[in-house]
Structure formats: C-alpha cells, structure tokens
C-alpha cells in the first residue's frame, strides 16, 4: 500500500520550522532559528506590540522557545545606544531582525546580509532605506506607517476641535532622521491652513521639560511626531501638555491612553502582527528584497473625552461618531 504525503503534512511531520531554508541551516548549526527583536523604545512602550508579533508567529507555527528563539534588545529611545545594540545582534548571528525605521541605518552599517523587517517605518523610501515600496532590494523590507501622508489629516482634526487655532507647536526628536519627512509634511500642511509653526526640538529625555518651558504660551495646540524617545516619555510629555493646557494630537493611541487629547494613525498591533508574516516568509527562504513594503490597512482615531473636559473643549458630536474609540 502506497501512502502519499502532501507538502503540508510533510512540513508538519518535520516539525514545520525544520523544513524551511533558514530554519534548517540554523538547526544544522545546533540552534533554533533566531529572531532579533530590536525595540526602539522600552519594553513597557513596545510590549503590547511585541506580544502581537509573537502571537502571530505562534499562529504560523513558530513557538518561542520551542521552534524559534527571540533575542530582545531595547534602545529606550536613546539614539546613542543604536550602534551598540545593532552590532550586538549581528554578533549573535540572528537569522532576521525586527525593528523600527530609526534603528535601520545603524543596522545597515553593520550588516548587508541579515534580513531586516521594519515593523513600523515612517518613510522608508524618503529615508533611503529601500529602493521602492514594490521592489525594496537589499536586505530591508517591512511596513510603512504613511506617517508623513497623515500629517495634514491630523491638523484638520486639531482645527476641528480648536477653531481658533493659529499657532502650532511641533514636538520632535531632531536627532532622529526618520522624523524629518513628517516634520516637512506638517510644515507644508500648516502653511496651507495658514498656521504659524514653532518646533520644540529635543534630543534626550532631559530636553523635554526645558523645550516646553522655552516655548510656553507660544502655541494653541501641539503635534507630536512619531519617535521612540517621545513614545518612551509619553507620560512626562502629557503631564507638561496638560499643565500648559495644550490640545495635542499624535499618531499613537498610547499617547491618548496616557492623557493626550487625540490620535490618528496606523494600528500598531496590526502592523506588528503583519511583521510576523514577513519573518515567516523570510525563514521559508524568500529574500527580503523581493517582499514589497506594505501600507497600513487599519487606522485608529482615538479621543480622550476626559482630557477634552479638562481643557474646556467641546468635541463635536460628528467627530465623536467618527472615532474608533472614545476614552471617558
């Protein structure tokens, strides 16, 4: 009697991961295939996103500690640590690295071979990290946040809540080159709306409070750019924001959960889940340069109604109906 075994059954019989190219090489070397997870911020800030990534891997048959190993490193928003921890992961000879755009230049300095998956990237083409979205080339691919493209939408939302908006403060980590395209888009959108822009530039956590103090009373609202340092310090920022009575918008729902007024942007847990799909394909043998950079498919608009009341703002009913979540 002849029994025919299909490819799916064969992979399962071999333990799934063992049958795939990179995984097979890793196992021949006596170790599990290894993912380097390089967080731009802290475990607290990136924890929920890392969990979404690990859960997706599990759904695809990659069980942490059993069929795959994950090496976690955290930059804590400190750009001076980027080169050090990038080099450390390369020395570990991980099979693929998952990270955010701001850490990719440091990684590209130390490896042109290890596949790099950007779970979140502000502007991968503008940042000269990939050739095109459709054909990235090289060893980098991943997911774009469309952050610069959403700047105008965020300013429109702010003006809807603050009809008398004339002066806009932009909080940005000026040491992070990945925020430059977003700052440019914010400035362009502000000009279109007739707004004056003041930049609160920071490089370290210690710069945040002085930046607010220096520009005290010079703005009607605040725009927070996408950056690991700012995300790490979101509680500190929101304390200063509420003290200055500034309506604030960013791309992160986590900022709103920490007391900010509004956020509009890509759904980060969904992007990190999709990063799991990239890792799965790469461990199966697909080259990262052949995997197109994908755009977000889920966006979140979140409003903190409690903060609106503290600021004395009335959120239009039509806006509340458009929100994906209203925090009360």
Domain boundaries, the chain: 7-146+267-299, 147-266+300-327
**Superfamily for the 7-146+267-299 domain:** Response regulator (3.40.50.2300)
Domain 147-266+300-327 indexed as CATH 3.40.50.2300: yes
- Write down the mean pLDDT value for the chain: 89
pLDDT at residue 318 tops 70 = yes
Give the ranges where the chain is alpha helix by DSSP (H): 7-13, 21-28, 43-59, 82-91, 104-110, 147-161, 180-192, 208-214, 228-232, 234-243, 253-257, 268-283, 305-310, 317-322
pLDDT tens column, 8-29: 333 333 333 333 455 555 554 5
* pLDDT of 158: 95
pLDDT at 30: 60
pLDDT of residue 193: 93
What band does 48 get if pLDDT is binned at 50, 70 and 90?
Answer: very high
pLDDT in the model for residue 123: 82
pLDDT in tens, 80-129: 899 999 999 999 999 999 999 989 999 999 999 999 999 999 888 877 88
Which is higher by pLDDT, 1 or 232?
232
Tell me how crowded residue 19 is: count the other CB atoms within 10 A of its CB: 16
With cut-offs at 50, 70 and 90, classify the pLDDT of residue 306: very high
Going by C-alpha positions, the residue among 263, 262, 260, 269 that lies closest to residue 297 is 269
Q: Residues 6 or more apart from 188 whose CB is under 8 A from it?
A: 151, 152
Q: Looking at the predicted structure, is the pLDDT value of residue 135 above 70?
A: yes
What confidence score (pLDDT) does residue 31 get? Answer: 83
- Confidence class of residue 234 from pLDDT cuts 50, 70 and 90? very high
pLDDT of residue 290 exceeding 70, the answer is yes
**Pair 152, 223: CB distance under 8 Å:** no
CB 204 within 8 A of CB 233: no
* pLDDT exceeds 90 at position 153: yes
CA Rg, the chain, in Å?
A: 21
Lowest mean pLDDT among 51-65, 108-122, 142-156: 142-156
* 57: confidence class by pLDDT, cuts 50, 70, 90: very high
Return the pLDDT at 14.
34
Q: In the 8-state DSSP scheme, what is residue 205? A: G
Percent of the chain whose pLDDT exceeds 90? 77
Cα–Cα dist 189/186, whole Å: 5
DSSP state of 294: B
pLDDT by residue (tens digit) across 164-200?
999 999 999 998 888 888 899 999 999 999 999 999 9
Predicted local confidence at residue 145, as pLDDT: 83
Residue 77 pLDDT > 80, yes or no?
yes
Convert the pLDDT of each residue in 212-232 to its tens digit. Answer: 999 888 999 999 998 889 999
Give residue 7's pLDDT: 35
């Amino acid at each position: 009697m002849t029994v025919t075994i299909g490819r799916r059954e064969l992979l399962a019989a071999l333990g799934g991961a063992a049958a795939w190219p990179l995984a097979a090489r890793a196992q021949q070397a006596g170790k599990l295939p290894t993912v380097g997870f390089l967080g731009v911020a802290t475990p607290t800030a990136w924890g929920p996103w890392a969990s979404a990534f690990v859960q997706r891997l599990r759904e695809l048959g990659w069980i942490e500690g059993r069929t795959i190993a994950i090496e976690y490193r955290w930059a804590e928003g400190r750009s001076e640590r980027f080169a050090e921890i990038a080099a450390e992961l390369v020395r570990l000879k991980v099979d693929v690295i998952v990270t955010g755009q701001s850490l990719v230049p440091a990684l590209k300095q130390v490896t042109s071979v290890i596949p790099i998956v950007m779970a979140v990237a502000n502007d991968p083409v503008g940042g000269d990290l990939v050739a095109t979205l459709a054909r990235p080339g090289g060893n980098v691919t991943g997911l774009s946040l469309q952050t610069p493209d959403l700047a105008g939408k965020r300013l429109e939302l702010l003006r809807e809540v603050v009809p008398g908006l004339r002066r806009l403060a932009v909080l940005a980590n000026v040491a992070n080159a990945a925020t430059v395209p977003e700052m440019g888009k914010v400035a362009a959108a502000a000009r279109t709306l007739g707004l004056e822009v003041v930049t609160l530039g920071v490089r370290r956590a210690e710069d945040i409070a002085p930046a607010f103090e220096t520009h005290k009373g010079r703005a009607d609202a605040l725009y927070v750019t996408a950056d690991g340092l700012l995300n790490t310090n979101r509680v500190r920022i929101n304390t200063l924001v509420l003290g200055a009575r500034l309506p604030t918008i960013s791309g992160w729902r986590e900022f709103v959960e920490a007391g900010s007024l509004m956020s509009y942007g890509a759904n980060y847990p969904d992007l990190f889940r999709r990063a799991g799909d990239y890792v799965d394909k790469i461990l199966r043998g697909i080259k990262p340069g052949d995997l197109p950079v994908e755009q977000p498919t889920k966006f979140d608009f979140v409003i903190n109604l409690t903060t609106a009341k503290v600021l004395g703002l009335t959120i239009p009913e039509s806006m509340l109906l458009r929100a994906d979540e209203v925090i009360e």
